[in-house]
Structure 1
Amino acid sequence: MRIFLIFLVGTIVLVLLGGIIYFVSSGSSFNFFKKTNVSISDNSFTTVIPGKLIVLTNTPFEPMEYLDEKGNLVGFDIDLINTIGKKLGLEVTIEQKDWDLMFELVKEHKVDLAISGITATQERGKDFNFSIPYLNSGQVVIVESTNPKTILNSSDLEAKKILVQKNTTGAIVAKEAKGNVVELDEIGESAIQELVSHNADAIVIDYVVGAKFVKDHKEIKLVGSQLTDEYYGILFPLSEKRLVSAVDRVIREMKENGELDAIKKLWIE
Protein backbone atom coordinates (compact mmCIF):
# COMPACT_ATOMS: atom_id res chain seq x y z
CA MET A 1 0.00 0.00 0.00
CA ARG A 2 2.82 2.41 0.90
CA ILE A 3 4.54 1.73 -2.42
CA PHE A 4 1.24 2.31 -4.24
CA LEU A 5 0.68 5.63 -2.44
CA ILE A 6 4.21 6.77 -3.24
CA PHE A 7 3.65 5.84 -6.88
CA LEU A 8 0.28 7.63 -6.94
CA VAL A 9 1.68 10.81 -5.38
CA GLY A 10 4.63 10.75 -7.76
CA THR A 11 2.31 10.38 -10.74
CA ILE A 12 0.17 13.33 -9.62
CA VAL A 13 3.26 15.51 -9.16
CA LEU A 14 4.53 14.63 -12.64
CA VAL A 15 1.15 15.40 -14.21
CA LEU A 16 0.93 18.76 -12.44
CA LEU A 17 4.52 19.61 -13.36
CA GLY A 18 3.89 18.68 -16.97
CA GLY A 19 0.83 20.90 -17.04
CA ILE A 20 2.79 23.83 -15.65
CA ILE A 21 5.58 23.33 -18.19
CA TYR A 22 3.04 23.13 -21.02
CA PHE A 23 1.27 26.29 -19.84
CA VAL A 24 4.50 28.27 -19.64
CA SER A 25 5.93 27.03 -22.93
CA SER A 26 2.73 27.39 -24.92
CA GLY A 27 1.69 30.79 -23.58
CA SER A 28 1.96 33.90 -25.73
CA SER A 29 4.30 36.66 -24.62
CA PHE A 30 1.15 38.77 -24.41
CA ASN A 31 -0.67 36.63 -21.85
CA PHE A 32 0.60 38.80 -19.00
CA PHE A 33 -1.59 41.73 -20.01
CA LYS A 34 -4.30 40.07 -22.10
CA LYS A 35 -7.10 40.12 -19.55
CA THR A 36 -10.18 39.49 -21.63
CA ASN A 37 -11.71 36.01 -21.51
CA VAL A 38 -14.66 36.85 -23.75
CA SER A 39 -15.15 34.52 -26.69
CA ILE A 40 -14.04 36.12 -29.95
CA SER A 41 -17.34 34.98 -31.47
CA ASP A 42 -19.25 37.27 -29.08
CA ASN A 43 -20.35 40.36 -31.04
CA SER A 44 -22.05 42.12 -28.13
CA PHE A 45 -20.08 45.17 -27.09
CA THR A 46 -20.78 48.75 -26.13
CA THR A 47 -18.94 52.00 -26.79
CA VAL A 48 -18.86 55.31 -24.91
CA ILE A 49 -21.22 56.79 -27.50
CA PRO A 50 -23.45 54.15 -29.14
CA GLY A 51 -22.63 53.69 -32.81
CA LYS A 52 -19.37 55.62 -32.53
CA LEU A 53 -15.77 54.66 -31.77
CA ILE A 54 -13.99 57.46 -29.91
CA VAL A 55 -10.25 57.12 -30.52
CA LEU A 56 -7.27 59.06 -29.17
CA THR A 57 -3.85 59.41 -30.77
CA ASN A 58 -0.72 61.49 -30.30
CA THR A 59 1.14 63.17 -33.15
CA PRO A 60 3.57 63.41 -34.77
CA PHE A 61 4.94 59.89 -35.01
CA GLU A 62 5.54 59.35 -38.71
CA PRO A 63 4.62 57.00 -40.35
CA MET A 64 2.16 55.83 -37.68
CA GLU A 65 0.20 59.08 -37.21
CA TYR A 66 0.96 62.60 -38.37
CA LEU A 67 -0.52 65.57 -40.24
CA ASP A 68 0.16 65.72 -43.97
CA GLU A 69 0.76 68.90 -45.99
CA LYS A 70 -2.97 69.61 -46.07
CA GLY A 71 -3.40 69.13 -42.34
CA ASN A 72 -5.10 65.75 -42.66
CA LEU A 73 -4.43 63.12 -40.01
CA VAL A 74 -2.83 60.17 -41.80
CA GLY A 75 -0.64 57.14 -41.14
CA PHE A 76 -0.54 53.41 -40.47
CA ASP A 77 -2.52 53.59 -37.22
CA ILE A 78 -5.11 55.89 -38.78
CA ASP A 79 -5.79 53.50 -41.67
CA LEU A 80 -5.87 50.55 -39.28
CA ILE A 81 -8.37 51.97 -36.81
CA ASN A 82 -10.61 53.34 -39.57
CA THR A 83 -10.70 49.87 -41.14
CA ILE A 84 -11.46 48.25 -37.77
CA GLY A 85 -14.25 50.74 -37.10
CA LYS A 86 -15.80 50.13 -40.51
CA LYS A 87 -15.73 46.36 -40.03
CA LEU A 88 -17.42 46.76 -36.64
CA GLY A 89 -20.07 49.07 -38.11
CA LEU A 90 -18.92 52.07 -36.07
CA GLU A 91 -18.35 55.71 -37.00
CA VAL A 92 -14.75 56.51 -36.06
CA THR A 93 -13.86 59.82 -34.41
CA ILE A 94 -10.14 60.42 -33.84
CA GLU A 95 -8.90 63.11 -31.45
CA GLN A 96 -5.29 64.22 -30.95
CA LYS A 97 -4.17 64.51 -27.34
CA ASP A 98 -1.02 65.01 -25.31
CA TRP A 99 0.72 61.66 -24.67
CA ASP A 100 0.11 61.55 -20.91
CA LEU A 101 -3.45 62.89 -21.18
CA MET A 102 -4.22 60.21 -23.76
CA PHE A 103 -3.41 57.48 -21.25
CA GLU A 104 -5.35 59.24 -18.50
CA LEU A 105 -8.53 59.55 -20.57
CA VAL A 106 -8.39 55.90 -21.63
CA LYS A 107 -7.80 54.81 -18.04
CA GLU A 108 -10.86 56.77 -16.91
CA HIS A 109 -12.89 55.18 -19.75
CA LYS A 110 -13.87 58.59 -21.12
CA VAL A 111 -12.99 57.31 -24.60
CA ASP A 112 -13.05 53.86 -26.17
CA LEU A 113 -9.38 53.34 -26.98
CA ALA A 114 -6.07 54.85 -28.05
CA ILE A 115 -3.84 53.91 -30.96
CA SER A 116 -0.51 55.70 -31.29
CA GLY A 117 2.37 53.30 -31.78
CA ILE A 118 1.93 52.23 -28.16
CA THR A 119 4.28 49.47 -27.05
CA ALA A 120 2.45 46.85 -25.01
CA THR A 121 4.45 46.26 -21.83
CA GLN A 122 3.92 44.32 -18.65
CA GLU A 123 3.95 47.54 -16.63
CA ARG A 124 1.22 49.13 -18.76
CA GLY A 125 -0.73 45.90 -18.56
CA LYS A 126 -1.32 46.56 -14.86
CA ASP A 127 -3.53 49.55 -15.67
CA PHE A 128 -4.79 48.88 -19.19
CA ASN A 129 -6.05 46.18 -21.48
CA PHE A 130 -4.46 45.68 -24.90
CA SER A 131 -5.51 44.22 -28.20
CA ILE A 132 -3.45 41.44 -29.69
CA PRO A 133 -0.29 42.89 -31.27
CA TYR A 134 -0.59 44.32 -34.75
CA LEU A 135 3.04 45.29 -35.41
CA ASN A 136 6.50 44.41 -34.09
CA SER A 137 8.63 47.56 -34.06
CA GLY A 138 11.81 46.42 -32.37
CA GLN A 139 15.18 48.09 -32.81
CA VAL A 140 16.93 47.79 -36.19
CA VAL A 141 20.29 48.76 -37.66
CA ILE A 142 20.58 51.15 -40.62
CA VAL A 143 23.81 51.53 -42.59
CA GLU A 144 24.94 53.28 -45.76
CA SER A 145 23.95 51.23 -48.81
CA THR A 146 27.46 50.01 -49.64
CA ASN A 147 27.91 49.04 -45.95
CA PRO A 148 31.70 49.67 -46.00
CA LYS A 149 32.19 48.34 -42.45
CA THR A 150 30.25 45.13 -43.26
CA ILE A 151 27.85 45.51 -40.35
CA LEU A 152 25.44 42.59 -40.46
CA ASN A 153 24.17 42.19 -36.90
CA SER A 154 24.50 43.54 -33.35
CA SER A 155 27.85 41.81 -32.77
CA ASP A 156 29.35 43.94 -35.54
CA LEU A 157 28.46 47.19 -33.73
CA GLU A 158 31.29 46.97 -31.20
CA ALA A 159 33.57 50.02 -31.40
CA LYS A 160 31.55 51.40 -34.33
CA LYS A 161 30.20 54.95 -34.30
CA ILE A 162 26.47 54.53 -33.75
CA LEU A 163 23.87 57.30 -33.86
CA VAL A 164 20.83 56.94 -31.58
CA GLN A 165 18.13 59.13 -30.10
CA LYS A 166 18.78 59.81 -26.43
CA ASN A 167 16.67 58.10 -23.77
CA THR A 168 15.41 55.39 -26.13
CA THR A 169 15.60 51.62 -26.36
CA GLY A 170 17.94 52.14 -29.31
CA ALA A 171 20.43 53.91 -27.06
CA ILE A 172 20.33 51.04 -24.58
CA VAL A 173 20.81 48.41 -27.29
CA ALA A 174 23.74 50.29 -28.87
CA LYS A 175 25.49 50.65 -25.51
CA GLU A 176 24.99 46.97 -24.74
CA ALA A 177 26.64 46.21 -28.09
CA LYS A 178 29.67 48.23 -26.87
CA GLY A 179 29.41 50.71 -29.70
CA ASN A 180 30.83 54.22 -29.76
CA VAL A 181 27.41 55.72 -29.11
CA VAL A 182 26.46 59.27 -30.08
CA GLU A 183 23.13 60.32 -28.54
CA LEU A 184 21.12 62.91 -30.46
CA ASP A 185 17.95 64.83 -29.61
CA GLU A 186 16.34 63.27 -32.67
CA ILE A 187 17.20 61.03 -35.59
CA GLY A 188 16.35 62.85 -38.79
CA GLU A 189 17.83 64.06 -42.06
CA SER A 190 21.06 65.28 -40.47
CA ALA A 191 21.73 61.85 -38.96
CA ILE A 192 21.10 60.19 -42.32
CA GLN A 193 23.57 62.54 -43.98
CA GLU A 194 26.18 61.67 -41.34
CA LEU A 195 25.71 58.04 -42.31
CA VAL A 196 25.84 58.67 -46.06
CA SER A 197 28.97 60.82 -45.64
CA HIS A 198 30.64 57.98 -43.68
CA ASN A 199 30.89 60.19 -40.58
CA ALA A 200 28.97 57.49 -38.72
CA ASP A 201 28.82 53.74 -39.16
CA ALA A 202 25.24 52.92 -38.20
CA ILE A 203 21.95 54.15 -36.78
CA VAL A 204 19.94 52.08 -34.28
CA ILE A 205 16.27 53.03 -34.28
CA ASP A 206 12.68 51.72 -34.08
CA TYR A 207 11.74 49.54 -37.05
CA VAL A 208 8.77 51.64 -38.20
CA VAL A 209 10.82 54.83 -38.30
CA GLY A 210 13.89 53.15 -39.77
CA ALA A 211 11.92 51.38 -42.49
CA LYS A 212 10.31 54.68 -43.50
CA PHE A 213 13.75 56.31 -43.70
CA VAL A 214 14.99 53.50 -45.93
CA LYS A 215 11.89 53.73 -48.10
CA ASP A 216 12.53 57.45 -48.66
CA HIS A 217 16.35 57.28 -48.97
CA LYS A 218 17.84 54.79 -51.41
CA GLU A 219 21.36 55.51 -50.15
CA ILE A 220 20.73 53.68 -46.85
CA LYS A 221 19.47 50.20 -45.98
CA LEU A 222 18.43 47.93 -43.12
CA VAL A 223 20.74 45.05 -42.17
CA GLY A 224 20.21 41.95 -40.09
CA SER A 225 17.08 41.16 -38.11
CA GLN A 226 15.38 43.18 -35.39
CA LEU A 227 17.50 43.42 -32.26
CA THR A 228 14.49 43.53 -29.93
CA ASP A 229 10.79 42.68 -29.95
CA GLU A 230 8.57 45.67 -29.18
CA TYR A 231 4.95 44.98 -30.02
CA TYR A 232 2.38 47.67 -30.71
CA GLY A 233 -1.12 47.11 -29.37
CA ILE A 234 -4.33 49.13 -29.19
CA LEU A 235 -4.88 50.54 -25.69
CA PHE A 236 -8.17 50.01 -23.82
CA PRO A 237 -9.46 50.65 -20.29
CA LEU A 238 -8.55 47.80 -17.97
CA SER A 239 -12.20 46.85 -17.46
CA GLU A 240 -12.99 46.68 -21.19
CA LYS A 241 -13.38 43.13 -22.49
CA ARG A 242 -16.02 42.75 -25.17
CA LEU A 243 -14.81 45.59 -27.39
CA VAL A 244 -11.25 44.25 -27.07
CA SER A 245 -12.49 40.84 -28.17
CA ALA A 246 -14.26 42.34 -31.20
CA VAL A 247 -11.18 44.35 -32.20
CA ASP A 248 -8.96 41.28 -31.76
CA ARG A 249 -11.20 39.35 -34.11
CA VAL A 250 -10.89 42.04 -36.78
CA ILE A 251 -7.09 42.23 -36.42
CA ARG A 252 -6.83 38.45 -36.84
CA GLU A 253 -9.04 38.67 -39.91
CA MET A 254 -6.87 41.45 -41.38
CA LYS A 255 -3.73 39.41 -40.75
CA GLU A 256 -5.22 36.39 -42.48
CA ASN A 257 -6.65 38.17 -45.54
CA GLY A 258 -3.60 40.38 -46.16
CA GLU A 259 -5.22 43.73 -45.32
CA LEU A 260 -2.77 44.41 -42.50
CA ASP A 261 0.20 43.66 -44.75
CA ALA A 262 -1.24 46.04 -47.36
CA ILE A 263 -1.36 48.89 -44.83
CA LYS A 264 2.18 48.05 -43.72
CA LYS A 265 3.42 48.11 -47.32
CA LEU A 266 1.72 51.45 -47.95
CA TRP A 267 3.16 53.28 -44.95
CA ILE A 268 6.34 51.49 -43.92
CA GLU A 269 7.91 49.15 -46.46
Structure 2
Amino acid sequence: MKRCTVVLLTLLLVSASLFAAGTKEQAIGGDSSLDKVMSKGQFVMGLDDNFPPMGFRNEKGEIVGFDVDLAKEVTKRMGVTLKLQPIDWNAKEQELNTGNIDCIWNGFTITEERKQAMTFTAPYIHNAQVVVVRDDSPYTTLASLSGKSVGYQAGSSASSAIDASPDFKKSIKTFIEFKENLTGLMDLEIGGIDALVVDVTVANDNIKRSGKAFRILTEELAPEDYGIGFRKGDQKLADAVWSQLLAMKADGTLAKISTTWFGSDITVVGK
Protein backbone atom coordinates (compact mmCIF):
# COMPACT_ATOMS: atom_id res chain seq x y z
CA MET A 1 0.00 0.00 0.00
CA LYS A 2 2.81 2.37 0.90
CA ARG A 3 4.58 1.54 -2.34
CA CYS A 4 1.44 2.39 -4.35
CA THR A 5 1.17 5.69 -2.49
CA VAL A 6 4.79 6.58 -3.22
CA VAL A 7 4.36 5.69 -6.89
CA LEU A 8 1.16 7.74 -7.09
CA LEU A 9 2.81 10.75 -5.44
CA THR A 10 5.77 10.46 -7.79
CA LEU A 11 3.47 10.40 -10.81
CA LEU A 12 1.58 13.41 -9.50
CA LEU A 13 4.80 15.34 -8.96
CA VAL A 14 6.07 14.50 -12.43
CA SER A 15 2.72 15.49 -13.95
CA ALA A 16 2.74 18.76 -12.03
CA SER A 17 6.27 19.50 -13.20
CA LEU A 18 5.38 18.77 -16.80
CA PHE A 19 2.25 20.91 -16.55
CA ALA A 20 4.21 23.78 -15.03
CA ALA A 21 6.86 23.52 -17.72
CA GLY A 22 4.20 23.41 -20.41
CA THR A 23 2.41 26.40 -18.94
CA LYS A 24 5.65 28.37 -18.80
CA GLU A 25 6.49 27.39 -22.36
CA GLN A 26 3.00 28.37 -23.47
CA ALA A 27 3.34 31.74 -21.75
CA ILE A 28 6.68 32.36 -23.43
CA GLY A 29 5.40 31.33 -26.83
CA GLY A 30 1.98 32.89 -26.38
CA ASP A 31 2.89 36.29 -27.81
CA SER A 32 0.95 36.48 -31.08
CA SER A 33 1.25 40.26 -31.47
CA LEU A 34 3.42 40.12 -34.59
CA ASP A 35 1.35 37.35 -36.17
CA LYS A 36 -1.83 39.37 -35.69
CA VAL A 37 -0.40 42.42 -37.42
CA MET A 38 1.06 40.37 -40.25
CA SER A 39 -2.16 38.38 -40.79
CA LYS A 40 -4.38 41.48 -40.95
CA GLY A 41 -1.76 43.28 -43.03
CA GLN A 42 -2.19 46.49 -41.08
CA PHE A 43 -0.26 48.27 -38.34
CA VAL A 44 -2.28 50.87 -36.40
CA MET A 45 -0.19 53.70 -35.00
CA GLY A 46 -1.76 55.79 -32.24
CA LEU A 47 -0.63 59.41 -32.18
CA ASP A 48 -1.43 62.97 -31.19
CA ASP A 49 -1.98 64.74 -34.52
CA ASN A 50 -1.13 68.12 -32.97
CA PHE A 51 2.42 67.34 -31.89
CA PRO A 52 4.85 68.82 -34.44
CA PRO A 53 7.37 67.81 -35.60
CA MET A 54 6.65 64.21 -34.50
CA GLY A 55 3.08 64.01 -35.83
CA PHE A 56 0.74 66.78 -36.99
CA ARG A 57 -1.55 67.91 -39.80
CA ASN A 58 -0.15 70.00 -42.64
CA GLU A 59 -2.00 72.71 -44.54
CA LYS A 60 -3.78 70.01 -46.58
CA GLY A 61 -5.01 68.26 -43.45
CA GLU A 62 -2.65 65.32 -43.98
CA ILE A 63 -0.92 63.78 -40.98
CA VAL A 64 2.84 64.20 -41.38
CA GLY A 65 5.89 64.28 -39.13
CA PHE A 66 9.15 62.65 -38.18
CA ASP A 67 7.57 59.70 -36.37
CA VAL A 68 5.09 59.29 -39.22
CA ASP A 69 7.92 59.02 -41.75
CA LEU A 70 9.70 56.49 -39.54
CA ALA A 71 6.54 54.39 -39.22
CA LYS A 72 5.88 54.54 -42.96
CA GLU A 73 9.33 53.17 -43.70
CA VAL A 74 9.16 50.51 -40.98
CA THR A 75 5.77 49.19 -42.11
CA LYS A 76 6.85 49.27 -45.76
CA ARG A 77 9.79 47.01 -44.89
CA MET A 78 7.53 44.76 -42.81
CA GLY A 79 5.14 44.43 -45.74
CA VAL A 80 2.05 45.82 -43.98
CA THR A 81 -0.10 48.92 -44.38
CA LEU A 82 0.27 51.78 -41.92
CA LYS A 83 -2.93 53.22 -40.44
CA LEU A 84 -2.54 56.53 -38.61
CA GLN A 85 -5.01 56.73 -35.74
CA PRO A 86 -5.28 60.09 -33.93
CA ILE A 87 -6.13 59.60 -30.25
CA ASP A 88 -6.89 61.64 -27.17
CA TRP A 89 -3.45 61.77 -25.57
CA ASN A 90 -5.00 61.74 -22.12
CA ALA A 91 -6.62 58.35 -22.91
CA LYS A 92 -3.71 56.81 -24.82
CA GLU A 93 -3.22 53.81 -22.51
CA GLN A 94 -6.90 52.93 -22.78
CA GLU A 95 -6.74 53.12 -26.58
CA LEU A 96 -3.81 50.71 -26.51
CA ASN A 97 -5.23 48.24 -24.01
CA THR A 98 -8.61 47.98 -25.74
CA GLY A 99 -6.90 47.06 -29.02
CA ASN A 100 -7.90 50.19 -30.95
CA ILE A 101 -4.22 50.78 -31.76
CA ASP A 102 -1.14 48.56 -32.00
CA CYS A 103 1.29 51.07 -30.51
CA ILE A 104 1.77 54.60 -29.21
CA TRP A 105 4.38 56.25 -31.40
CA ASN A 106 4.49 60.02 -31.22
CA GLY A 107 7.22 61.56 -29.10
CA PHE A 108 6.24 59.10 -26.36
CA THR A 109 8.44 59.50 -23.30
CA ILE A 110 9.66 56.37 -21.53
CA THR A 111 8.95 56.53 -17.80
CA GLU A 112 9.18 53.91 -15.06
CA GLU A 113 5.42 54.15 -14.50
CA ARG A 114 4.68 53.58 -18.18
CA LYS A 115 7.16 50.69 -18.34
CA GLN A 116 5.11 48.90 -15.71
CA ALA A 117 1.99 49.16 -17.87
CA MET A 118 3.34 48.48 -21.36
CA THR A 119 6.22 47.12 -23.42
CA PHE A 120 8.68 49.68 -24.79
CA THR A 121 11.37 49.63 -27.44
CA ALA A 122 14.78 51.04 -26.54
CA PRO A 123 15.05 54.84 -26.88
CA TYR A 124 15.37 56.23 -30.40
CA ILE A 125 15.74 59.92 -29.48
CA HIS A 126 16.98 61.76 -26.40
CA ASN A 127 14.66 64.56 -25.36
CA ALA A 128 14.08 66.93 -22.46
CA GLN A 129 11.26 68.85 -20.82
CA VAL A 130 11.97 72.56 -21.04
CA VAL A 131 10.19 75.80 -20.21
CA VAL A 132 9.18 78.18 -23.00
CA VAL A 133 8.49 81.87 -22.36
CA ARG A 134 7.79 84.88 -24.54
CA ASP A 135 10.97 86.48 -25.79
CA ASP A 136 10.03 89.86 -24.31
CA SER A 137 9.39 88.42 -20.85
CA PRO A 138 11.78 89.01 -17.92
CA TYR A 139 12.04 85.30 -17.05
CA THR A 140 15.50 83.77 -17.43
CA THR A 141 15.55 80.94 -14.87
CA LEU A 142 13.10 78.49 -13.34
CA ALA A 143 13.31 80.41 -10.08
CA SER A 144 12.28 83.64 -11.81
CA LEU A 145 8.87 82.08 -12.56
CA SER A 146 7.98 81.99 -8.87
CA GLY A 147 4.39 83.11 -8.34
CA LYS A 148 3.54 82.90 -12.04
CA SER A 149 1.22 80.75 -14.17
CA VAL A 150 2.60 77.77 -16.09
CA GLY A 151 0.88 75.50 -18.59
CA TYR A 152 1.44 71.93 -19.76
CA GLN A 153 -0.30 69.28 -21.86
CA ALA A 154 -2.65 66.98 -19.94
CA GLY A 155 -1.44 63.40 -19.79
CA SER A 156 2.04 64.29 -21.03
CA SER A 157 5.43 63.70 -19.44
CA ALA A 158 5.54 67.43 -18.71
CA SER A 159 3.26 66.68 -15.76
CA SER A 160 5.72 64.03 -14.50
CA ALA A 161 8.63 66.43 -14.94
CA ILE A 162 6.83 69.04 -12.85
CA ASP A 163 6.06 66.49 -10.12
CA ALA A 164 9.72 65.45 -10.12
CA SER A 165 10.76 69.06 -9.44
CA PRO A 166 9.05 69.83 -6.10
CA ASP A 167 10.77 73.17 -5.52
CA PHE A 168 9.73 74.43 -8.93
CA LYS A 169 6.20 73.06 -8.52
CA LYS A 170 5.80 74.68 -5.10
CA SER A 171 6.97 78.05 -6.41
CA ILE A 172 4.38 78.28 -9.19
CA LYS A 173 1.13 80.09 -8.38
CA THR A 174 -1.07 78.37 -10.98
CA PHE A 175 -0.72 75.36 -13.29
CA ILE A 176 -3.02 75.19 -16.31
CA GLU A 177 -3.68 72.02 -18.32
CA PHE A 178 -4.11 72.11 -22.08
CA LYS A 179 -5.38 69.31 -24.30
CA GLU A 180 -2.64 70.08 -26.84
CA ASN A 181 0.74 71.79 -26.72
CA LEU A 182 -0.17 74.02 -29.67
CA THR A 183 -3.12 75.41 -27.69
CA GLY A 184 -0.77 76.09 -24.80
CA LEU A 185 1.68 77.91 -27.07
CA MET A 186 -1.13 80.06 -28.45
CA ASP A 187 -2.18 80.95 -24.90
CA LEU A 188 1.43 81.77 -24.08
CA GLU A 189 1.63 84.06 -27.11
CA ILE A 190 -1.37 86.14 -26.02
CA GLY A 191 -0.25 86.30 -22.38
CA GLY A 192 -2.76 83.88 -20.91
CA ILE A 193 0.09 82.06 -19.18
CA ASP A 194 3.62 83.11 -18.32
CA ALA A 195 5.36 79.90 -19.43
CA LEU A 196 4.75 76.46 -20.92
CA VAL A 197 6.47 73.19 -20.01
CA VAL A 198 6.96 71.22 -23.22
CA ASP A 199 9.27 68.81 -25.08
CA VAL A 200 12.36 70.56 -26.41
CA THR A 201 11.79 69.02 -29.85
CA VAL A 202 8.32 70.56 -29.99
CA ALA A 203 9.56 73.91 -28.70
CA ASN A 204 12.43 74.16 -31.19
CA ASP A 205 10.21 73.15 -34.09
CA ASN A 206 7.48 75.64 -33.20
CA ILE A 207 9.91 78.52 -32.81
CA LYS A 208 11.69 77.64 -36.06
CA ARG A 209 8.61 77.13 -38.24
CA SER A 210 6.31 79.77 -36.77
CA GLY A 211 8.86 82.52 -36.29
CA LYS A 212 7.04 83.54 -33.13
CA ALA A 213 8.87 85.40 -30.40
CA PHE A 214 9.40 82.55 -27.95
CA ARG A 215 12.49 81.67 -25.94
CA ILE A 216 13.56 78.44 -24.24
CA LEU A 217 15.06 78.74 -20.75
CA THR A 218 18.53 77.24 -20.58
CA GLU A 219 17.67 75.20 -17.47
CA GLU A 220 16.12 71.87 -18.43
CA LEU A 221 13.33 70.68 -16.18
CA ALA A 222 14.03 66.98 -16.87
CA PRO A 223 15.96 64.89 -19.41
CA GLU A 224 14.05 62.01 -21.01
CA ASP A 225 13.96 59.53 -23.89
CA TYR A 226 11.42 58.79 -26.61
CA GLY A 227 10.38 55.18 -27.21
CA ILE A 228 7.57 53.28 -28.91
CA GLY A 229 4.98 51.82 -26.54
CA PHE A 230 3.14 48.52 -27.12
CA ARG A 231 0.64 46.51 -25.10
CA LYS A 232 2.26 44.75 -22.17
CA GLY A 233 3.69 41.47 -23.45
CA ASP A 234 3.63 42.39 -27.17
CA GLN A 235 7.38 41.84 -27.28
CA LYS A 236 7.52 40.17 -30.70
CA LEU A 237 5.85 43.12 -32.40
CA ALA A 238 8.09 45.56 -30.53
CA ASP A 239 11.18 43.56 -31.54
CA ALA A 240 10.08 43.44 -35.19
CA VAL A 241 9.68 47.23 -35.32
CA TRP A 242 12.99 47.78 -33.55
CA SER A 243 14.83 45.43 -35.92
CA GLN A 244 13.63 47.53 -38.85
CA LEU A 245 14.84 50.72 -37.16
CA LEU A 246 18.24 49.09 -36.65
CA ALA A 247 18.33 48.20 -40.34
CA MET A 248 17.37 51.77 -41.23
CA LYS A 249 20.19 53.01 -39.02
CA ALA A 250 22.67 50.72 -40.75
CA ASP A 251 21.72 51.72 -44.31
CA GLY A 252 21.47 55.46 -43.63
CA THR A 253 17.68 55.79 -44.01
CA LEU A 254 17.19 56.81 -40.39
CA ALA A 255 19.81 59.57 -40.67
CA LYS A 256 18.20 60.81 -43.89
CA ILE A 257 14.74 61.10 -42.31
CA SER A 258 16.15 62.76 -39.19
CA THR A 259 18.11 65.28 -41.25
CA THR A 260 14.97 66.16 -43.20
CA TRP A 261 13.14 67.11 -40.00
CA PHE A 262 15.91 68.28 -37.67
CA GLY A 263 18.82 69.27 -39.89
CA SER A 264 21.02 66.45 -38.56
CA ASP A 265 20.83 62.89 -37.29
CA ILE A 266 19.68 63.23 -33.69
CA THR A 267 18.61 59.60 -33.30
CA VAL A 268 20.22 57.22 -30.81
CA VAL A 269 19.18 53.89 -32.35
CA GLY A 270 21.96 51.34 -31.98
CA LYS A 271 24.02 53.59 -29.71
TM range (shorter): 0.5 to 0.7
Residue 94 (str. 1) matches residue 84 (str. 2): yes
Distance 1:174 1:60, change over 3 A: farther
State which of 187, 203, 214 in structure 2 corresponds to 1:210: 203
Amino acid in structure 2 at the alignment position of 1:62: F
Give the 5 Å matches for 1:118-137.
118-137=108-127
| Distance in structure 2 (CA, Å) of the matches to 1:225 and 1:255 | 31
| Distance in structure 1 (CA, Å) of the matches to 2:239 and 2:249 | 15
Amino acid in structure 1 at the alignment position of 2:51: E
Alignment-derived partner of residue 241 in structure 2: 247
1:206-245 deviations in whole A, cap 9, x for unaligned? 3233223322234222232532133322122322233322
Mapped contact 1:65–1:76 kept (Cα < 8 A)? yes
How many Å apart are 1:180 and its aligned residue?
3.9
1:119-144 deviations in whole A, cap 9, x for unaligned? 32223323321111223443102234
Alignment-derived partner of residue 188 in structure 2: 191
Amino acid in structure 2 at the alignment position of 1:205: V
Mapped contact 2:49–2:57 kept (Cα < 8 A)? yes
Residue 229 (str. 1) matches residue 229 (str. 2): no
Distance 1:158 1:189, change over 3 A: closer
Q: In percent, how many aligned pairs have the same letter?
A: 23
Alignment-derived partner of residue 238 in structure 1: 232
Segment of structure 1 superposing worse, 99-108 or 219-228: 99-108
Alignment-derived partner of residue 159 in structure 1: 146
Alignment-derived partner of residue 143 in structure 1: 133
Distance 1:218 1:94, change over 3 A: closer
Give the 5 Å matches for 1:4-43.
none
Distance 1:175 1:211, change over 3 A: farther
Give the 5 Å matches for 1:16-95.
46-50=35-39, 52-63=41-52, 64-95=54-85
Q: CA RMSD in A?
A: 3.7
Mapped contact 1:140–1:222 kept (Cα < 8 A)? yes
| Distance in structure 1 (CA, Å) of the matches to 2:57 and 2:113 | 30
Alignment-derived partner of residue 25 in structure 1: none
| Distance in structure 2 (CA, Å) of the matches to 1:110 and 1:55 | 8
SS in 2 for 1:117: strand
User: Could you tell me the TM-score, scaled by structure 2's length?
Assistant: 0.63
Mapped contact 1:47–1:112 kept (Cα < 8 A)? no
Amino acid in structure 2 at the alignment position of 1:211: N
SS in 1 for 2:122: coil
Mapped contact 1:53–1:112 kept (Cα < 8 A)? no
1:147-168 deviations in whole A, cap 9, x for unaligned? 645x2x54x4363635223763
Residue 261 (str. 1) matches residue 258 (str. 2): yes
Q: Any runs of at least 4 consecutive aligned residues in structure 1 with deviations exceeding 6 A, and if so which?
A: none
| Distance in structure 2 (CA, Å) of the matches to 1:97 and 1:162 | 28
Mapped contact 2:161–2:221 kept (Cα < 8 A)? no
Q: How many residue pairs get matched? A: 218
How many Å apart are 1:175 and its aligned residue?
5.9
Distance 1:105 1:175, change over 3 A: closer
1:32-64 deviations in whole A, cap 9, x for unaligned? xxxxx9xxxxxxx53424373421324333213
Amino acid in structure 2 at the alignment position of 1:208: T
Distance 1:48 1:69, change over 3 A: same
Amino acid in structure 2 at the alignment position of 1:71: G
Alignment-derived partner of residue 8 in structure 1: none
